[in-house]
Each structure stands twice: as structure tokens, then as C-alpha cells.
């Protein structure tokens, strides 16, 4: 194995950090996207053109032939208007600088007083914000298919965010002052952080030494009662004397570790469900390695989802269970249930889906990574065997919010030499999971690219033709309003796929915030809000127009739904498992502790 060697100390490397990080976070884009980035998203070409004299002949930096080749049009009138507006605002900004008027920097990256106190830095930041505004406007002005336009906008935004003056030591007055005040120590620490992160292949967002799985996170008491190469099954210890007779099975995403649902006692959805009197089982997926590098989507459904449901039925003695799927866990769970109903089984008392996609018509910003070229490349590399590295997932998701998840840490960790703080959510976020290549490629092509799951009978999984409409059970569907991974309108589309002839069995709840924060919102904190509307037989926006907003957490709404379908109260189990499924080890088990390399 070749190990990359790094210089012991090279201050110039800090100035290259943004470039290195940009290359890292865009390396997985397909050739057509990188071509668009090279030709459309070159800020310097466009800004030079913007700055040309209005009214004089000026040729845009890209020819009509090049644009047509990419299926793109730029309306000349719109470009001329942008050029005139840009030149006018740049002139005003320059006049303010000459008159020593400090520009308003309405961006949190430039909140520190050091930016406004020095006219040169203030002007530089103001010009950057002006350029960013008009490059974004340029992307909006592009006349192109939605998918192409979204990719161009994404590419330009990556460039804009990377080129912020706050990301470079030479243009960041706050970092420069720390360098002086610390007599160079901040630069030394920053360099050490950068080199360490380059060795790890990721940016450190938190102090990963501050947490231990099973001690600081994933602490709800329970036992492993079943395992196979794909997952361990946790049965949690009751916290009430009586429980509902029908158990709850939770299927978290396999792209991340399960303990996002059990971070700390005060924000654990797992513990909350146990406290409400439910016998809770949870799947802890394996962190794939070479031993399961050929595992398929069918196996995740058959040996994962279906197997888990059967084990929970056998341990609880109940024919029907309440099942919850989160994100891709909801997609796997729904596939498993569709196969079971096709076999004549009726295992559900109720179904809960949290920020999950069944209809992949609109996949939001993730769509920039989805096209036949990119998926074919993955299939060639790992479709027949191999691993989709967890670090690639982390890079892709970080690129969706680069200022929060990338450049914020470039500035604080590298330019300022600050130590990352301890934060449980970011520790979980950094604890990546590998996936088997065949499973992942099937998921990308058949779900994201071809959107086949929503079509009755189109997919054959676990030997059965899948029809989501055959899943017959009361359903609770939750989405987050600001979710950039699963747009809430796409999650709402599940209401037309499940119980299609009995829409009244579907309940849709919309929460505030994003993909994770919207889900993990315990009642005790009394934060955010959620919306309800019993009329799910209408278009998404019309549903929202008629919805009622409630303060606080949606968990209480879901708790009522679970109670409704939990069955009668019985004495809580005195010990985990049964005579067939015995205690293997205490929760959280071994699988969740395996780190992706």
C-alpha cells in the first residue's frame, strides 16, 4: 500500500486548502458536469465580461455552439441586463471605497469587526458578495432542462463558496490577527490540522475523541438478540411495567449508523418510544467490508428487512408489528413489505416512514449526482463487487451545504488553528458507513435514475414483483419542510402509492427544519413546529395551504398514532429474546462500532 507523504511544514499549503477541498468534493461528478463547470462556471471569465463597458459590443465567454452542445441557451437581453446592473453596482461600490464609506457586509462569514475595520478587507469582501450575487443570477438566467440547470447552479455555487475571502489566509483579517497575537502558533496548529485531515481523507468537524459508542452515545439499555452478516437486532429493555402487545421495529438508514436515533437520553427517539410503553426492536446494519462486498439489494430486503420482521414476530409472539423506516431504511422496509404482501403475508399493524423516498421523481439537490454516466461509472467500478466508501458519502452530503460543513471548518481549523468542539451530532455525521457496491448501484439505477419502485410490478425483488399499493396498513408519513435530501413534496407523494384505495388510512405530518434536525426534535425541548391536515387526497401545496401549524414536536402526534395501533397493554418482557433467540451481547453491539476505513 502506497502512503502519501506530506511535508513536515509548508505554510503555502494553507493557501491551497480551498483548492484541494474543492477538488475533493467535486471529484465524483460526471464528465458532463465537470465540462459545464469548466465552461460555464469559470467566475473570472464571466466577471471580466460583466465588467466590460455597457453598451459596447461584448462577446460572452462561451459561444453559442458550445452552449448548444450542452443543451443550454442564454438569452442575450437577460445577459445584457445582468451586465448593466453589475457594472452599476460595482461602480457604486468603488465610489464608496474612494469616499471611505464602509460597505454593508450582510453575510455571517464577515461578521467579525476585523472585516469592517479595514477598508481593503471590507471592499474585497463586498466585491466577492457582489460577484457571487451576479454569478448566481447568471445560473438562474440559464435556459436549460431542469436537471442541467440544477447541475450548473450547483457547480457555480461550489465555485462561489470555495472562493470566499474568508477561506484564504492572505484575505482573512481575523486569521491574520490570530497569527500575530499567537506569535505564529495558530498557523502551526492549523497546518497540523490540515495535514492530519489530509491523511484521514476528511475534514474534522468535531473532536472525535470526546465520544465512545455505548458510553456517550447509543446508551439506551438493550440486548442483541439476533445477528447475521447484514445486521444485528437490538431489543431494548422496557422502562414501563406494562407495554403494548404489538412491538415496534425501527429500520434506520444503512448509509449512516443507527445511533442518530439514540444520541443522548434527552434526544433519543428510541428511548422516547420505550418510555411510551412500546417494546422496541432496532436494526443495526453492518459496516460493509470485503466479506460482504458482493451483497445485493435483494439480500438487504430478504436477509435484512424481511428477516428482521420475522424475528420480531417470533420473539413477540405477534403476527403483526408496528414498523418504522427512516430515510433509505424506509425504502428498504417498504420493499420488504411489498415482497411479504406479495407472498400473502400480512405482517403490519402500522407503518411509519420518516423522510423517506418511494417516489424518486424529485430528489432535490442530490439530483446533481444522478445521471446515467455517473451511475454507469459506479457500476463499472463496483457493480459486480466492491465497496462504496463511506467517505464518498460524507463528501457528497457535505457538498450540499458547503459553507456549513466544509468551508466553516477550513477557516476555523486550518486558518485559525482552532480545535474542533465536541458535538454528538457531528460525531455521528463523521462516523461513515461503507455499502456493498452491487446493492448501492442497484439502488441508484432502479430508484434514483429510473424511479421503478413506484411502478407496480416493474421491480422483482426477493423473487416477488413489488407493488407498494398492496401494503395494507395505517401509515404515518413524516417529512421535514427544509429537507434538502428528501424534498417534503416527494415524501408526500408516498400518500398516493400506499393505501391507494383507502387514502384515509394515510396520515401525513410536516415538520420544521431539515433532514435530521426535523426528525430528532424531542418534546421536552419545545422547539420548532409541525403541520397537520387530514386531507391527503390533494396536491402537496394545497395540503400545506390547508394545514394547521402546531408548536413543538411531532413526536407526540406519532406517539398517539402508535398507541392507536399498539394493541392492548400486557406485562413487560422480563428478559430479552426467547428460547430460540438468546442474548448475544449487550446493546449497542459490535456492528455499530466498526469504523469505515
* Cβ atoms of residues 350 and 561 within 8 Å: yes
Compute the distance between CA of residue 427 and CA of residue 335 in angstroms, rounded to an integer: 30
Compute the distance between CA of residue 497 and CA of residue 566 in angstroms, rounded to an integer: 24
286 noted as active-site residue: no
Is the dihedral angle over the CA atoms 329, 331, 335, 340 positive or is it negative? Answer: positive
Closest Cα partner for 439 from 589, 312, 307, 335? 335
Q: Which three cell numbers stand for residue 200?
A: 484521514
Residue with cell 420493499: 335
| CA gyration radius, the chain | 26
E-only strand ranges, 25-143:
73-74, 142-143
Closest Cα partner for 109 from 128, 91, 95? 128
Cβ of 552: how many Cβ atoms within 10 Å?
17
- Ramachandran angles phi, psi of 586, nearest 5°: -65, 150
List the alpha helices (DSSP H) in 142-228. 146-162, 173-181, 185-200
511-514 contacts at long range (C-beta below 8 A, 24 or more positions apart): 511/478, 511/479, 511/480, 511/481, 511/554, 512/480, 512/481, 512/482, 513/480, 513/481, 513/482, 514/480, 514/482, 514/483, 514/484
According to DSSP, the residues that pair with 209 across neighbouring strands are none
> How much of the chain is in helix, strand and coil states, percent to nearest 5?
50, 15, 40
* Cβ atoms of residues 219 and 265 within 8 Å: yes
Q: What are the CA-CA distances from residue 531 to residues 63, 481, 495, 557 (Å)?
A: 49, 10, 16, 10
Q: Which of 254, 286, 327, 441 is catalytic?
A: 327
Largest CA distance in the chain: 86
At CA 479, angle to CA 462 and CA 232, rounded to 5?
Answer: 45
At CA 274, angle to CA 272 and CA 280, rounded to 5?
Answer: 120
* Cβ atoms of residues 368 and 29 within 8 Å: yes
- Ramachandran angles phi, psi of 460, nearest 5°: -110, 115
* Cβ atoms of residues 511 and 528 within 8 Å: yes
Compute the distance between CA of residue 221 and CA of residue 241 in angstroms, rounded to an integer: 16
Is the dihedral angle over the CA atoms 425, 590, 443, 369 positive or is it negative? Answer: positive
**Which residues neighbour 8 within 8 Å (Cβ) at sequence distance 6 or greater?**
none
> What amino acid positions are annotated as catalytic residues?
327
Amino acid at each position: 500500500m502506497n502512503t502519501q507523504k506530506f511535508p513536515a511544514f509548508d505554510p503555502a499549503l494553507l493557501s491551497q486548502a480551498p483548492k484541494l477541498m474543492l477538488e475533493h468534493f467535486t471529484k465524483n461528478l460526471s464528465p458532463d458536469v465537470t465540462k459545464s463547470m469548466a465552461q460555464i462556471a469559470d467566475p473570472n471569465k464571466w466577471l471580466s465580461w460583466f465588467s466590460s463597458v455597457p453598451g459596447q459590443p461584448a462577446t460572452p465567454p462561451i459561444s453559442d455552439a458550445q452552449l448548444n452542445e450542452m443543451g443550454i441557451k442564454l438569452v442575450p437581453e437577460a445577459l445584457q441586463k445582468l451586465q448593466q446592473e453589475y457594472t452599476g453596482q460595482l461602480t457604486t461600490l468603488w465610489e464608496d471605497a474612494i469616499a471611505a464609506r464602509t460597505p454593508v457586509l450582510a453575510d455571517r462569514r464577515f461578521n467579525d469587526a476585523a472585516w469592517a475595520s479595514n477598508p481593503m478587507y471590507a471592499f474585497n469582501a463586498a466585491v466577492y458578495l457582489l460577484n457571487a450575487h451576479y454569478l448566481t443570477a447568471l445560473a438562474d438566467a440559464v435556459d436549460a432542462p431542469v436537471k442541467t440547470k440544477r447541475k450548473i447552479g450547483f457547480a457555480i455555487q461550489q465555485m462561489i463558496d470555495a472562493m470566499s475571502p474568508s477561506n484564504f489566509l492572505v484575505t482573512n483579517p481575523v486569521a491574520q490577527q490570530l497569527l500575530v497575537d499567537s506569535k505564529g502558533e495558530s498557523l502551526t496548529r492549523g497546518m497540523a490540522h490540515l495535514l492530519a485531515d489530509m491523511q484521514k481523507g476528511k475534514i474534522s468537524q468535531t473532536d472525535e475523541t470526546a465520544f465512545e459508542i455505548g458510553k456517550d452515545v447509543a446508551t439506551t439499555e438493550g440486548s442483541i438478540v439476533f445477528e447475521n452478516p447484514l445486521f444485528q437486532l437490538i431489543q431494548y429493555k422496557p422502562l414501563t411495567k406494562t407495554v403494548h402487545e404489538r412491538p415496534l421495529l425501527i429500520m434506520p438508514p444503512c448509509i449512516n449508523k443507527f445511533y442518530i436515533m439514540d444520541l443522548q437520553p434527552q434526544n433519543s427517539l428510541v428511548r422516547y418510544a420505550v418510555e411510551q410503553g412500546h417494546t422496541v426492536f432496532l436494526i443495526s446494519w453492518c459496516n460493509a467490508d470485503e466479506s460482504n462486498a458482493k451483497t445485493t439489494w435483494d439480500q438487504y430486503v430478504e436477509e435484512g428487512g424481511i428477516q428482521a420482521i420475522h424475528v420480531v414476530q417470533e420473539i413477540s409472539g405477534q403476527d403483526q408489528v408496528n414498523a418504522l423506516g427512516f430515510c433509505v431504511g424506509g425504502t428498504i422496509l417498504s420493499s420488504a413489505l411489498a415482497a411479504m404482501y406479495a407472498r400473502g403475508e400480512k405482517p403490519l399493524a402500522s407503518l411509519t416512514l420518516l423522510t423517506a423516498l418511494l417516489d424518486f421523481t424529485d430528489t432535490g439537490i442530490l439530483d446533481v449526482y444522478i445521471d446515467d454516466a455517473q451511475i454507469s461509472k459506479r457500476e463499472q467500478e463496483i457493480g459486480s463487487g466492491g465497496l462504496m466508501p463511506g467517505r464518498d458519502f460524507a463528501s457528497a452530503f457535505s457538498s450540499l451545504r458547503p459553507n456549513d460543513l466544509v468551508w466553516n471548518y477550513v477557516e476555523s481549523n486550518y486558518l485559525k488553528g482552532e480545535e474542533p468542539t465536541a458535538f454528538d451530532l457531528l460525531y455521528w455525521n463523521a462516523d461513515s458507513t461503507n455499502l456493498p457496491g452491487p446493492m448501492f448501484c442497484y439502488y441508484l439505477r432502479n430508484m434514483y435514475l429510473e424511479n421503478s419502485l413506484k411502478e407496480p410490478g416493474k421491480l422483482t425483488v426477493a423473487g416477488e414483483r413489488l407493488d407498494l399499493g398492496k401494503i395494507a396498513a395505517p401509515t404515518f408519513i413524516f417529512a421535514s419542510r427544509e429537507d434538502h435530501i428528501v424534498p417534503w413534496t416527494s415524501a408526500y407523494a408516498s400518500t398516493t402509492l400506499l393505501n391507494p384505495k383507502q387514502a384515509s388510512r394515510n396520515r401525513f405530518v410536516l415538520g420544521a427544519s431539515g433532514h435530521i434536525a426535523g426528525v430528532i426534535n424531542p418534546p421536552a425541548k419545545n422547539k420548532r413546529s409541525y403541520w397537520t391536515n387530514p386531507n391527503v387526497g390533494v396536491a402537496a401545496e394545497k395540503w400545506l395551504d390547508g394545514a394547521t401549524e402546531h408548536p413543538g414536536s411531532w413526536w407526540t402526534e406519532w406517539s398517539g398514532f402508535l398507541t392507536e395501533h399498539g394493541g392492548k397493554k400486557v406485562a413487560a418482557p422480563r428478559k430479552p429474546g426467547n428460547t430460540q433467540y438468546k442474548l448475544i451481547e449487550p446493546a449497542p453491539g459490535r456492528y455499530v462500532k466498526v469504523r469505515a476505513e
